[in-house]
Amino acid sequence: MSSTLSFPRNFVWGVATAATQIEGAASADGKGPSVWDTFARRPGRILNGDTPETACDHYRRYPQDIALMRSLGVKHYRLSLAWPRIYPAGDGSLNPRGLDHYSRLIDALLEAGITPWVTLFHWDLPQALEDRGGWRSRVTVDAFATYADTVVRHLGDRVKHWITLNEIRCFTVLAYAPGGDKAPGGKEPPAVINQMYHHALVCHGHAVRAVREHGRRGARVGLTDNSEICVPVTETAADITAARRWFAQRNIHLLDPIYRGAYAPAYLRACGANRPRVSRGDFDLIGLPTDFLGLNVYNAKFVRAGSRGAPETLPMPSHYPRTDSPWHDLTPQALYWGPRFVHELYRPKALYITENGCGYDDEPVVKGEVFDLHRREFLRSYLRELHRAVGDGVPVRGYFLWSLMDNFEWQDGYTRRFGIVHVDYRSQKRTPKLSARWYARVMHENRLV
Ligand code: FCB
Protein backbone atom coordinates (compact mmCIF):
# COMPACT_ATOMS: atom_id res chain seq x y z
CA MET A 1 0.00 0.00 0.00
CA SER A 2 1.29 3.42 -0.86
CA SER A 3 0.76 6.96 0.27
CA THR A 4 -2.19 7.28 -2.10
CA LEU A 5 -4.18 5.55 0.65
CA SER A 6 -5.41 2.75 -1.59
CA PHE A 7 -7.27 -0.13 0.00
CA PRO A 8 -6.60 -3.80 -0.79
CA ARG A 9 -8.21 -5.39 -3.82
CA ASN A 10 -11.68 -6.76 -3.06
CA PHE A 11 -12.12 -4.43 -0.12
CA VAL A 12 -15.89 -4.22 0.45
CA TRP A 13 -17.35 -0.72 0.35
CA GLY A 14 -20.99 -0.27 1.21
CA VAL A 15 -23.73 1.69 2.91
CA ALA A 16 -26.02 0.65 5.77
CA THR A 17 -29.58 1.20 6.95
CA ALA A 18 -32.06 -0.49 9.30
CA ALA A 19 -35.73 -1.37 8.79
CA THR A 20 -37.34 0.79 11.49
CA GLN A 21 -35.27 3.78 10.48
CA ILE A 22 -36.23 3.91 6.82
CA GLU A 23 -39.18 1.70 5.95
CA GLY A 24 -42.21 3.47 7.39
CA ALA A 25 -45.38 1.50 6.55
CA ALA A 26 -45.47 0.64 10.23
CA SER A 27 -48.71 -1.31 10.02
CA ALA A 28 -48.89 -2.11 6.30
CA ASP A 29 -49.55 -5.57 4.91
CA GLY A 30 -50.09 -7.20 8.25
CA LYS A 31 -47.00 -5.92 10.07
CA GLY A 32 -47.32 -6.07 13.84
CA PRO A 33 -46.11 -3.27 16.12
CA SER A 34 -42.54 -3.31 17.35
CA VAL A 35 -41.37 -1.93 20.67
CA TRP A 36 -40.25 1.19 18.80
CA ASP A 37 -43.74 1.81 17.41
CA THR A 38 -45.14 1.63 20.94
CA PHE A 39 -42.32 3.59 22.56
CA ALA A 40 -42.68 6.41 20.05
CA ARG A 41 -46.27 6.94 21.13
CA ARG A 42 -45.23 7.55 24.73
CA PRO A 43 -44.95 11.29 25.34
CA GLY A 44 -41.47 12.64 25.84
CA ARG A 45 -39.60 9.58 24.65
CA ILE A 46 -38.63 10.78 21.18
CA LEU A 47 -37.49 14.23 20.20
CA ASN A 48 -40.37 16.30 18.76
CA GLY A 49 -42.74 13.37 19.26
CA ASP A 50 -41.47 11.85 16.01
CA THR A 51 -42.45 8.27 15.17
CA PRO A 52 -41.22 5.65 12.70
CA GLU A 53 -44.69 5.54 11.11
CA THR A 54 -43.60 6.98 7.76
CA ALA A 55 -39.82 7.43 7.99
CA CYS A 56 -38.36 7.47 4.46
CA ASP A 57 -41.26 5.43 3.06
CA HIS A 58 -38.64 3.03 1.80
CA TYR A 59 -41.11 0.13 2.08
CA ARG A 60 -42.87 1.57 -0.95
CA ARG A 61 -40.04 3.51 -2.55
CA TYR A 62 -37.39 0.81 -2.49
CA PRO A 63 -37.15 0.56 -6.30
CA GLN A 64 -36.16 4.24 -6.50
CA ASP A 65 -33.80 3.89 -3.57
CA ILE A 66 -32.09 0.96 -5.22
CA ALA A 67 -31.78 3.01 -8.41
CA LEU A 68 -30.25 5.78 -6.33
CA MET A 69 -27.70 3.41 -4.80
CA ARG A 70 -26.88 2.15 -8.22
CA SER A 71 -26.33 5.67 -9.49
CA LEU A 72 -23.82 6.19 -6.66
CA GLY A 73 -22.02 2.98 -7.56
CA VAL A 74 -22.97 1.17 -4.35
CA LYS A 75 -22.10 -2.51 -4.61
CA HIS A 76 -22.79 -3.69 -1.04
CA TYR A 77 -25.78 -2.78 1.06
CA ARG A 78 -26.37 -3.67 4.70
CA LEU A 79 -30.08 -3.70 5.55
CA SER A 80 -32.18 -5.23 8.30
CA LEU A 81 -35.42 -7.18 8.27
CA ALA A 82 -38.32 -6.21 10.48
CA TRP A 83 -39.15 -9.26 12.57
CA PRO A 84 -42.75 -8.01 13.21
CA ARG A 85 -43.40 -7.89 9.45
CA ILE A 86 -42.65 -11.59 9.24
CA TYR A 87 -44.11 -12.74 12.56
CA PRO A 88 -46.48 -9.92 13.59
CA ALA A 89 -46.76 -11.35 17.10
CA GLY A 90 -43.14 -12.52 17.29
CA ASP A 91 -44.02 -16.18 16.95
CA GLY A 92 -47.10 -18.12 15.94
CA SER A 93 -48.55 -17.27 12.57
CA LEU A 94 -46.28 -16.22 9.79
CA ASN A 95 -47.20 -13.22 7.62
CA PRO A 96 -46.34 -14.24 4.05
CA ARG A 97 -46.74 -10.68 2.80
CA GLY A 98 -43.88 -9.56 5.02
CA LEU A 99 -41.62 -12.29 3.76
CA ASP A 100 -42.62 -11.65 0.13
CA HIS A 101 -41.71 -8.01 0.51
CA TYR A 102 -38.16 -8.88 1.53
CA SER A 103 -37.94 -11.51 -1.16
CA ARG A 104 -38.76 -8.87 -3.78
CA LEU A 105 -36.36 -6.41 -2.21
CA ILE A 106 -33.50 -8.93 -2.31
CA ASP A 107 -34.28 -9.77 -5.93
CA ALA A 108 -34.30 -6.11 -6.87
CA LEU A 109 -30.94 -5.56 -5.16
CA LEU A 110 -29.35 -8.52 -6.90
CA GLU A 111 -30.73 -7.38 -10.21
CA ALA A 112 -29.09 -3.99 -9.65
CA GLY A 113 -25.77 -5.72 -8.96
CA ILE A 114 -25.89 -4.87 -5.24
CA THR A 115 -24.93 -7.54 -2.70
CA PRO A 116 -27.27 -7.59 0.30
CA TRP A 117 -25.84 -7.99 3.82
CA VAL A 118 -28.86 -8.89 5.87
CA THR A 119 -29.15 -8.15 9.59
CA LEU A 120 -31.76 -10.36 11.24
CA PHE A 121 -32.35 -8.14 14.23
CA HIS A 122 -31.82 -4.41 14.50
CA TRP A 123 -33.80 -3.55 17.67
CA ASP A 124 -37.41 -3.88 16.46
CA LEU A 125 -38.63 -6.55 18.86
CA PRO A 126 -42.27 -7.46 18.22
CA GLN A 127 -44.33 -5.71 20.92
CA ALA A 128 -46.24 -8.94 21.55
CA LEU A 129 -42.99 -10.56 22.70
CA GLU A 130 -42.21 -7.63 24.93
CA ASP A 131 -45.63 -8.15 26.49
CA ARG A 132 -44.53 -11.71 27.30
CA GLY A 133 -41.28 -10.61 28.93
CA GLY A 134 -39.16 -9.40 26.00
CA TRP A 135 -35.44 -9.90 26.48
CA ARG A 136 -36.01 -10.96 30.09
CA SER A 137 -37.53 -14.18 28.88
CA ARG A 138 -36.49 -17.36 27.12
CA VAL A 139 -39.74 -17.04 25.14
CA THR A 140 -37.96 -14.45 23.02
CA VAL A 141 -35.05 -16.80 22.42
CA ASP A 142 -37.31 -19.58 21.16
CA ALA A 143 -39.29 -17.16 19.00
CA PHE A 144 -36.09 -15.76 17.52
CA ALA A 145 -34.84 -19.25 16.67
CA THR A 146 -37.99 -19.91 14.64
CA TYR A 147 -37.81 -16.49 12.99
CA ALA A 148 -34.17 -17.04 12.01
CA ASP A 149 -34.96 -20.49 10.59
CA THR A 150 -37.86 -19.12 8.56
CA VAL A 151 -35.91 -16.20 7.14
CA VAL A 152 -32.84 -18.19 6.17
CA ARG A 153 -35.01 -20.90 4.61
CA HIS A 154 -36.80 -18.34 2.46
CA LEU A 155 -34.03 -15.96 1.55
CA GLY A 156 -30.95 -18.11 2.04
CA ASP A 157 -30.90 -19.22 -1.58
CA ARG A 158 -29.98 -15.64 -2.52
CA VAL A 159 -28.47 -14.01 0.54
CA LYS A 160 -24.83 -14.88 1.19
CA HIS A 161 -23.98 -12.46 3.98
CA TRP A 162 -25.83 -12.52 7.28
CA ILE A 163 -25.51 -10.45 10.42
CA THR A 164 -27.15 -12.01 13.44
CA LEU A 165 -27.88 -9.09 15.77
CA ASN A 166 -27.04 -5.42 15.81
CA GLU A 167 -25.45 -3.95 18.94
CA ILE A 168 -26.59 -6.12 21.84
CA ARG A 169 -25.92 -3.32 24.35
CA CYS A 170 -28.42 -1.02 22.70
CA PHE A 171 -31.44 -3.31 22.98
CA THR A 172 -30.54 -4.60 26.46
CA VAL A 173 -28.79 -2.29 28.89
CA LEU A 174 -29.55 0.95 27.03
CA ALA A 175 -33.15 -0.10 26.60
CA TYR A 176 -34.07 -1.67 29.94
CA ALA A 177 -31.74 -0.24 32.59
CA PRO A 178 -32.38 3.00 34.49
CA GLY A 179 -31.17 5.94 32.45
CA GLY A 180 -31.53 4.12 29.14
CA ASP A 181 -33.13 6.02 26.29
CA LYS A 182 -34.09 3.21 23.92
CA ALA A 183 -37.26 1.15 23.52
CA PRO A 184 -38.99 -0.35 25.37
CA GLY A 185 -37.65 1.52 28.45
CA GLY A 186 -37.33 0.00 31.90
CA LYS A 187 -35.66 0.05 35.25
CA GLU A 188 -34.27 -3.44 35.44
CA PRO A 189 -31.50 -4.31 37.92
CA PRO A 190 -28.11 -5.75 36.87
CA ALA A 191 -29.15 -9.40 37.30
CA VAL A 192 -31.88 -8.97 34.71
CA ILE A 193 -29.62 -7.06 32.34
CA ASN A 194 -26.97 -9.81 32.55
CA GLN A 195 -29.67 -12.36 31.76
CA MET A 196 -30.68 -10.28 28.74
CA TYR A 197 -27.11 -10.28 27.42
CA HIS A 198 -27.20 -14.02 27.77
CA HIS A 199 -30.49 -14.39 25.92
CA ALA A 200 -29.20 -12.18 23.15
CA LEU A 201 -26.03 -14.29 22.87
CA VAL A 202 -28.12 -17.45 22.55
CA CYS A 203 -30.14 -15.74 19.79
CA HIS A 204 -26.91 -14.91 18.02
CA GLY A 205 -26.02 -18.61 18.24
CA HIS A 206 -29.38 -19.63 16.82
CA ALA A 207 -28.88 -17.31 13.87
CA VAL A 208 -25.46 -18.84 13.16
CA ARG A 209 -26.99 -22.30 13.42
CA ALA A 210 -29.85 -21.32 11.08
CA VAL A 211 -27.39 -20.06 8.44
CA ARG A 212 -25.33 -23.24 8.68
CA GLU A 213 -28.42 -25.45 8.50
CA HIS A 214 -30.45 -23.70 5.83
CA GLY A 215 -28.12 -21.22 4.15
CA ARG A 216 -26.44 -21.70 0.81
CA ARG A 217 -22.98 -23.16 0.61
CA GLY A 218 -20.38 -20.58 1.42
CA ALA A 219 -22.86 -18.34 3.25
CA ARG A 220 -21.13 -16.14 5.81
CA VAL A 221 -22.42 -15.01 9.16
CA GLY A 222 -21.30 -12.89 12.09
CA LEU A 223 -22.44 -10.60 14.89
CA THR A 224 -22.35 -6.83 14.72
CA ASP A 225 -21.07 -5.46 17.98
CA ASN A 226 -20.61 -1.93 19.22
CA SER A 227 -17.61 -2.85 21.29
CA GLU A 228 -16.63 -0.13 23.68
CA ILE A 229 -13.53 1.37 22.15
CA CYS A 230 -10.69 3.26 23.71
CA VAL A 231 -7.71 5.05 22.28
CA PRO A 232 -4.36 5.23 24.06
CA VAL A 233 -3.89 8.93 24.66
CA THR A 234 -0.27 8.70 23.56
CA GLU A 235 0.98 5.78 21.56
CA THR A 236 3.53 4.72 24.15
CA ALA A 237 3.82 1.07 25.13
CA ALA A 238 2.44 1.78 28.61
CA ASP A 239 -0.66 3.61 27.36
CA ILE A 240 -1.28 1.01 24.65
CA THR A 241 -1.12 -1.79 27.19
CA ALA A 242 -3.45 0.06 29.53
CA ALA A 243 -5.90 0.75 26.70
CA ARG A 244 -5.86 -2.91 25.64
CA ARG A 245 -6.66 -3.92 29.21
CA TRP A 246 -9.51 -1.45 29.37
CA PHE A 247 -10.87 -2.73 26.06
CA ALA A 248 -10.71 -6.34 27.29
CA GLN A 249 -12.51 -5.51 30.54
CA ARG A 250 -15.32 -3.61 28.85
CA ASN A 251 -16.08 -6.16 26.16
CA ILE A 252 -15.41 -9.43 27.93
CA HIS A 253 -19.09 -10.20 28.65
CA LEU A 254 -20.04 -10.32 24.97
CA LEU A 255 -16.89 -11.30 23.10
CA ASP A 256 -15.53 -14.01 25.37
CA PRO A 257 -18.62 -16.24 25.09
CA ILE A 258 -18.60 -15.90 21.31
CA TYR A 259 -14.89 -16.49 20.77
CA ARG A 260 -14.08 -18.71 23.75
CA GLY A 261 -17.38 -20.51 24.24
CA ALA A 262 -17.75 -19.58 27.92
CA TYR A 263 -18.00 -16.65 30.26
CA ALA A 264 -14.62 -15.54 31.54
CA PRO A 265 -14.11 -16.32 35.25
CA ALA A 266 -13.27 -12.63 35.77
CA TYR A 267 -16.65 -11.66 34.35
CA LEU A 268 -18.53 -14.13 36.52
CA ARG A 269 -16.63 -12.95 39.57
CA ALA A 270 -17.58 -9.38 38.78
CA CYS A 271 -21.24 -10.39 38.40
CA GLY A 272 -21.29 -12.14 41.77
CA ALA A 273 -24.88 -13.03 42.62
CA ASN A 274 -26.06 -11.33 39.45
CA ARG A 275 -24.51 -13.86 37.12
CA PRO A 276 -26.70 -15.10 34.26
CA ARG A 277 -28.46 -18.45 34.36
CA VAL A 278 -27.18 -20.68 31.61
CA SER A 279 -29.19 -23.58 30.17
CA ARG A 280 -27.66 -26.77 28.88
CA GLY A 281 -26.45 -26.40 25.30
CA ASP A 282 -26.34 -22.58 25.36
CA PHE A 283 -22.61 -22.37 24.84
CA ASP A 284 -22.72 -24.90 22.01
CA LEU A 285 -24.79 -22.31 20.18
CA ILE A 286 -23.06 -19.15 21.38
CA GLY A 287 -19.62 -20.51 20.56
CA LEU A 288 -20.45 -21.70 17.04
CA PRO A 289 -17.68 -20.48 14.75
CA THR A 290 -18.53 -17.37 12.78
CA ASP A 291 -16.99 -15.99 9.61
CA PHE A 292 -16.47 -12.41 10.68
CA LEU A 293 -17.17 -9.86 13.35
CA GLY A 294 -18.96 -6.66 12.42
CA LEU A 295 -17.98 -3.57 14.36
CA ASN A 296 -20.01 -0.38 14.51
CA VAL A 297 -17.50 2.33 15.24
CA TYR A 298 -18.38 5.88 16.15
CA ASN A 299 -16.82 6.94 19.37
CA ALA A 300 -13.95 6.22 21.76
CA LYS A 301 -12.68 7.12 25.17
CA PHE A 302 -9.11 8.22 25.71
CA VAL A 303 -7.22 5.97 28.10
CA ARG A 304 -3.78 6.13 29.65
CA ALA A 305 -1.71 4.11 32.08
CA GLY A 306 -2.51 5.29 35.59
CA SER A 307 -0.89 4.14 38.79
CA ARG A 308 0.80 0.73 38.39
CA GLY A 309 -0.24 0.73 34.75
CA ALA A 310 -3.95 0.42 35.53
CA PRO A 311 -6.13 1.89 32.77
CA GLU A 312 -7.42 5.35 33.51
CA THR A 313 -10.03 7.03 31.28
CA LEU A 314 -9.71 10.72 30.63
CA PRO A 315 -12.56 13.21 30.59
CA MET A 316 -13.23 14.89 27.27
CA PRO A 317 -12.32 18.58 27.37
CA SER A 318 -15.33 20.80 26.77
CA HIS A 319 -13.78 22.25 23.63
CA TYR A 320 -13.19 18.89 22.05
CA PRO A 321 -14.87 18.71 18.60
CA ARG A 322 -18.01 16.65 18.44
CA THR A 323 -20.92 16.01 16.13
CA ASP A 324 -24.47 17.09 16.93
CA SER A 325 -25.04 13.79 18.74
CA PRO A 326 -24.04 14.53 22.34
CA TRP A 327 -22.45 11.08 22.67
CA HIS A 328 -20.33 11.40 19.60
CA ASP A 329 -16.88 13.03 19.68
CA LEU A 330 -14.52 13.24 16.76
CA THR A 331 -12.36 10.23 17.61
CA PRO A 332 -11.10 8.85 14.29
CA GLN A 333 -8.45 6.75 16.06
CA ALA A 334 -11.35 4.52 17.16
CA LEU A 335 -11.22 3.04 13.67
CA TYR A 336 -7.61 2.03 14.23
CA TRP A 337 -7.58 0.88 17.85
CA GLY A 338 -11.01 -0.78 17.93
CA PRO A 339 -10.27 -3.29 15.16
CA ARG A 340 -6.69 -3.71 16.35
CA PHE A 341 -7.61 -4.61 19.93
CA VAL A 342 -10.35 -7.02 18.79
CA HIS A 343 -7.86 -8.65 16.46
CA GLU A 344 -5.19 -8.96 19.14
CA LEU A 345 -7.58 -10.33 21.74
CA TYR A 346 -9.91 -12.58 19.75
CA ARG A 347 -8.49 -13.12 16.24
CA PRO A 348 -11.80 -13.11 14.34
CA LYS A 349 -11.31 -14.50 10.81
CA ALA A 350 -12.30 -11.16 9.34
CA LEU A 351 -13.60 -7.83 10.50
CA TYR A 352 -16.06 -5.54 8.77
CA ILE A 353 -16.89 -2.04 9.87
CA THR A 354 -20.64 -2.46 9.62
CA GLU A 355 -21.37 1.16 10.57
CA ASN A 356 -19.48 4.42 10.78
CA GLY A 357 -20.76 7.89 10.12
CA CYS A 358 -21.88 11.11 11.80
CA GLY A 359 -25.10 12.91 12.60
CA TYR A 360 -25.73 16.61 12.27
CA ASP A 361 -28.91 18.64 12.61
CA ASP A 362 -30.48 20.75 9.93
CA GLU A 363 -28.61 20.33 6.71
CA PRO A 364 -30.72 22.31 4.29
CA VAL A 365 -30.82 21.82 0.57
CA VAL A 366 -29.75 25.06 -1.06
CA LYS A 367 -30.30 25.27 -4.80
CA GLY A 368 -30.42 21.51 -5.04
CA GLU A 369 -27.20 20.94 -3.09
CA VAL A 370 -26.13 20.03 0.44
CA PHE A 371 -22.58 21.08 1.29
CA ASP A 372 -21.80 18.75 4.13
CA LEU A 373 -18.08 19.41 4.11
CA HIS A 374 -18.05 18.62 7.82
CA ARG A 375 -19.22 15.08 7.06
CA ARG A 376 -16.60 14.61 4.37
CA GLU A 377 -13.85 15.72 6.76
CA PHE A 378 -15.23 13.49 9.46
CA LEU A 379 -15.32 10.42 7.22
CA ARG A 380 -11.94 11.14 5.71
CA SER A 381 -10.31 11.34 9.10
CA TYR A 382 -11.86 8.05 10.22
CA LEU A 383 -11.00 6.28 6.99
CA ARG A 384 -7.37 7.35 7.26
CA GLU A 385 -7.20 5.49 10.55
CA LEU A 386 -8.91 2.48 9.05
CA HIS A 387 -6.32 2.50 6.30
CA ARG A 388 -3.61 2.48 8.94
CA ALA A 389 -5.20 -0.56 10.60
CA VAL A 390 -5.36 -2.45 7.32
CA GLY A 391 -1.76 -1.51 6.60
CA ASP A 392 -0.73 -2.88 10.01
CA GLY A 393 -2.23 -6.26 9.18
CA VAL A 394 -5.57 -6.02 10.99
CA PRO A 395 -7.92 -8.15 8.85
CA VAL A 396 -10.56 -5.50 8.15
CA ARG A 397 -12.17 -6.55 4.87
CA GLY A 398 -14.84 -3.92 4.41
CA TYR A 399 -16.58 -0.74 5.50
CA PHE A 400 -20.27 0.25 5.48
CA LEU A 401 -21.10 3.90 5.85
CA TRP A 402 -23.99 4.81 8.13
CA SER A 403 -26.14 5.83 6.48
CA LEU A 404 -27.34 5.76 2.92
CA MET A 405 -29.92 8.42 3.74
CA ASP A 406 -31.21 10.57 6.56
CA ASN A 407 -33.62 8.54 8.65
CA PHE A 408 -35.41 7.99 11.95
CA GLU A 409 -32.56 8.23 14.43
CA TRP A 410 -34.31 6.43 17.28
CA GLN A 411 -34.76 8.69 20.34
CA ASP A 412 -33.45 11.65 18.34
CA GLY A 413 -36.21 11.33 15.77
CA TYR A 414 -35.68 13.01 12.42
CA THR A 415 -33.64 15.90 13.76
CA ARG A 416 -30.31 14.18 13.57
CA ARG A 417 -29.26 13.44 10.02
CA PHE A 418 -26.73 10.71 9.36
CA GLY A 419 -27.31 10.27 5.63
CA ILE A 420 -25.06 10.95 2.70
CA VAL A 421 -28.34 11.45 0.89
CA HIS A 422 -30.64 14.15 2.21
CA VAL A 423 -34.30 13.27 2.73
CA ASP A 424 -37.01 15.90 2.66
CA TYR A 425 -39.55 14.19 4.91
CA ARG A 426 -42.48 16.19 3.51
CA SER A 427 -41.96 15.39 -0.15
CA GLN A 428 -39.77 12.30 0.36
CA LYS A 429 -37.35 13.82 -2.12
CA ARG A 430 -33.83 12.41 -1.98
CA THR A 431 -30.86 14.69 -2.67
CA PRO A 432 -27.34 13.23 -2.62
CA LYS A 433 -25.13 15.44 -0.48
CA LEU A 434 -21.59 16.45 -1.31
CA SER A 435 -20.44 13.55 0.90
CA ALA A 436 -22.33 11.10 -1.30
CA ARG A 437 -20.48 12.29 -4.40
CA TRP A 438 -17.21 12.04 -2.52
CA TYR A 439 -17.93 8.57 -1.11
CA ALA A 440 -18.98 7.37 -4.56
CA ARG A 441 -15.47 8.19 -5.72
CA VAL A 442 -13.88 6.47 -2.73
CA MET A 443 -15.85 3.29 -3.46
CA HIS A 444 -15.11 3.48 -7.15
CA GLU A 445 -11.39 4.18 -6.86
CA ASN A 446 -10.92 1.99 -3.78
CA ARG A 447 -8.82 4.70 -2.17
CA LEU A 448 -9.20 7.80 -0.08
CA VAL A 449 -9.67 10.80 -2.29
C1 FCB B 1 -26.03 2.88 15.82
C2 FCB B 1 -27.24 2.13 15.30
C3 FCB B 1 -27.79 2.69 14.03
C4 FCB B 1 -27.76 4.20 13.99
C5 FCB B 1 -26.41 4.72 14.40
C6 FCB B 1 -26.28 6.23 14.36
O7 FCB B 1 -25.89 2.66 17.18
O8 FCB B 1 -26.92 0.78 15.09
O9 FCB B 1 -29.07 2.17 13.85
O10 FCB B 1 -28.79 4.74 14.71
O11 FCB B 1 -26.09 4.27 15.68
Confidence class of residue 3 from pLDDT cuts 50, 70 and 90? low
Confidence class of residue 1 from pLDDT cuts 50, 70 and 90? very low
CA nearest to 278, candidates 219, 201, 331, 330: 201
* Ligand 1: residue whose CA is nearest its atom 9: 18
Q: Is any atom of ligand 1 closer than 6 Å to the C-beta of 355?
A: yes
Q: What is the pLDDT of residue 363?
A: 86
Is the pLDDT at 374 greater than 70? The verdict is: yes
- pLDDT (average), residues 120-148: 98
This model's pTM is above 0.95:
yes
Is the pLDDT at 42 greater than 70? The verdict is: yes
Q: Is any atom of ligand 1 closer than 6 Å to the C-beta of 402?
A: yes
Is the pLDDT at 180 greater than 90? The verdict is: yes
- pLDDT (average), residues 353-373: 96
pLDDT digits (tens, 9 = 90+) for 158-172: 999 999 999 999 999
% of the chain residues with pLDDT over 90: 99
**Helices H / strands E in the chain, number of each:** 16, 15
Q: Which backbone phi and psi does 173 adopt, to 5 degrees?
A: -65, -40
Is the pLDDT at 99 greater than 70? The verdict is: yes
Look at the alpha carbons of 21, 84, 327, 358 in this order and tell me if their dihedral is positive or negative: negative
Instruction: State the alpha helices, DSSP H only, in 112-160.
Output: 127-131, 138-155
Is the pLDDT at 2 greater than 70? The verdict is: no
Q: What is the pLDDT of residue 339?
A: 99
Q: Is any atom of ligand 1 closer than 6 Å to the C-beta of 37?
A: no
Confidence class of residue 362 from pLDDT cuts 50, 70 and 90? confident
Mutate to test the pocket of ligand 1, among 21, 170, 224, 295 (most ligand atoms within 8 A of CB): 170
- pLDDT (average), residues 215-232: 98
Whole-number average pLDDT of the chain: 98
Q: Is any atom of ligand 1 closer than 6 Å to the C-beta of 225?
A: no
